[in-house]
Structure 1
Amino acid sequence: MKPTTETYAELTWAYDAFNKMLFDGELPNCLITLQREKHTCGYFSSGRFANVEGKLTDEIAINPSYFGVTPIIEIMQTLVHEMVHLWQFHFGTPGRGRYHNKEWADKMEAIGLMPSSTGRPGGKKTGDRIADYAIENGLFLQVCKDLLTNSFKLSWYDRYPDVRVANSGQSSLACQLEDMPESATSIRANQPNSQVQIQVALTKNIQSDSKSKPTRVKYTCECGINIWAKPGIHVKCGECNSEFVGAES
């Protein structure tokens, strides 16, 4: 199978399974895309795409940077998180902008995901930036036990994820889940033959010799008058008629 077909077939399989088991099959089809949005695991965009016949469809975007360094159950949480946004758009009342309101939070809990601003117990359930974690013995985990067996996988993954993404995966609560298939809670980067190469962002210090070049320099004339001006200028003092000498000279 071709990588594009394989990847989207797997994500569509997961979408259909969650739609059937968590939403009673009510959700319309949508276009799932892979997007590397910084600091974002995924997003929902209503009516984002149109076809040549004028029909519209929603978009659910998933960030593939997480595929190799995050438990697959976390990827599924992201997918279902966005599916709840899709459900609310069609059957509820979405909050303004990116706001996750109480209706959205209540639906998340009803299907087995606890909304949390920290992604951990104790976080706020509503707000602009809300993550989630799986509720023990909740409906979401029950569906995952059937779906995330060795027969289901995300075959392709990003080999060069950012170190921040990798760190978030290592600290995921999904790694600690019990009574789940190993394939659901393990991390690809930790497995034998993994080709994941974590990328570390380096901050480059731009310097000139031992110090940065100044944008303004202090100049002094023979009578002691000081001025500040850009480096390399030539100017004379109107009092003593001597040329101002800069600190760089």
Structure 2
Amino acid sequence: MKPAIKAYSELQQAYDFFNTTLFNGDLPDMLLTLQRGRNTFGYFAPSRFAGESVLSELAMNPDYFGGRSLADTLSTLCHEMVHVWQHYTPGVKQCRGGYHDRVWGKKMEEVGLMPSNTGMPGGKKTGQQMTHYIIRGGRFQTAVYDLLKNGFSISWYDKWSEGAVIPSKANLDILDDWLKVTDKNDKELISKLTETVSKGKAAIIDGNDDADAGIMIKPPVKGATGRATFCCPECGLKAWAKPSANLMCGDCEVDLIVEGN
């Protein structure tokens, strides 16, 4: 299989698996892409593509694949799939572009991810800038184990991040849970599970140690200005301003969203 086809097939495999196991197969097909959004792990952009039909986009940032654990990378995919669920599910309250409301947060918890603006327990559960952490014993934890047990992997990552250490949102307790149900003779799966929780021991969040252990490393950006990229979810118009700015598209009369949310 050619590298491009294989790389995108892996994303599609994970999307389809989570769609079936966590969303009852309710999410539509869309274009899954690799995009290097600045300081973002991924984003969902509704109705972004036109052609044979109108399709939404779910993008993942390969800049972080090498520095984050596979479990965290897959949790970003699932995070964006919750945005997909909220956008496409009939009767579900919609929220303004880029905002993470209680409807989104409730679904996140249902699939096994806890909303948190800090990525740690105790963080705010709603807001414009929002991340999450993996709930121990939740559905996402079980789904990731089943996916890896069936041989899933991501074959390529941006080589700048090979030595990066980014704090993991999966903790040692989750790894312990996985190892308890794994055949002790299956060394290959045990190795994959360990690397799936963290690229290195320093990046694992251990409940008995400093929860802020690890160093956040961001991809190098040429000509970085500290500005955020805003995009109209309807027509694709882009603008650049400080992340806290409130911008509106004059043609579509909707709020511009910060790419990556």
TM-score for both structures, normalised by structure 2? 0.67
Q: What CA distance in whole angstroms lies between the structure 2 residues aligned with 1:129 and 1:200?
A: 19
**2:62 equivalent in structure 1:** 64
Letter in 2 for 1:31: L
**1:183 equivalent in structure 2:** 192
**2:133 equivalent in structure 1:** 133
1:173 matches 2:169: yes
Cα drift, residue 65 of structure 1: 0.9
Q: What CA distance in whole angstroms lies between the structure 1 residues aligned with 2:64 and 2:35?
A: 11
Counterpart contact for 1:100–1:127, Cα < 8 Å: yes
Cα drift, residue 184 of structure 1: 4.1
2:57 is paired with a residue whose SS is: strand
Counterpart contact for 1:150–1:183, Cα < 8 Å: no
**1:161 equivalent in structure 2:** 161
1:104 matches 2:104: yes
Q: What CA distance in whole angstroms lies between the structure 2 residues aligned with 1:154 and 1:161?
A: 14
Cα RMSD of the aligned pairs, angstroms, is 2.5
**2:116 equivalent in structure 1:** 116
Spell out, residue by residue over 1:130-182, the C-alpha distance to the aligned partner (whole angstroms, 9 max, x if none). 1011111101111111002371100011101398xx34x2x213253323354
Which contiguous aligned blocks of 4+ residues in structure 1 show a shift greater than 4 angstroms? 187-190, 198-202
**2:147 equivalent in structure 1:** 147
Counterpart contact for 1:67–1:75, Cα < 8 Å: yes
1:45 matches 2:32: no
Q: What CA distance in whole angstroms lies between the structure 2 residues aligned with 1:97 and 1:199?
A: 25
**1:230 equivalent in structure 2:** none
| Higher RCO (CA < 8 A, seq sep 6+) | 2
Q: What CA distance in whole angstroms lies between the structure 2 residues aligned with 1:142 and 1:199?
A: 29
Spell out, residue by residue over 1:53-102, the C-alpha distance to the aligned partner (whole angstroms, 9 max, x if none). 3x111100101011111110111100000000001001122321211000
Letter in 1 for 2:192: S
**1:7 equivalent in structure 2:** 7
**Gaps spanning 5+ residues in structure 1: where?**
191-197, 203-249
Identity %: 46
Q: What CA distance in whole angstroms lies between the structure 1 residues aligned with 2:134 and 2:218?
A: 29
Spell out, residue by residue over 1:14-58, the C-alpha distance to the aligned partner (whole angstroms, 9 max, x if none). 00000001000010001111111111000000010112x3x1111
Letter in 2 for 1:77: S
Moved more, 148-157 or 25-34: 148-157
Counterpart contact for 1:148–1:184, Cα < 8 Å: yes
Counterpart contact for 1:149–1:183, Cα < 8 Å: no
Matches within 5 A, 1:222-237: none
Distance 1:201 1:10, change over 3 A: closer
The number of residues matched between the two structures is 190
1:186 is paired with a residue whose SS is: helix
Spell out, residue by residue over 1:92-145, the C-alpha distance to the aligned partner (whole angstroms, 9 max, x if none). 223212110000000000111000000010000000011011111101111111
Q: Highest CA radius of gyration, 1 or 2?
A: 1
Counterpart contact for 1:72–1:185, Cα < 8 Å: no
Distance 1:11 1:184, change over 3 A: farther
1:83 matches 2:105: no
Q: What CA distance in whole angstroms lies between the structure 2 residues aligned with 1:174 and 1:141?
A: 9
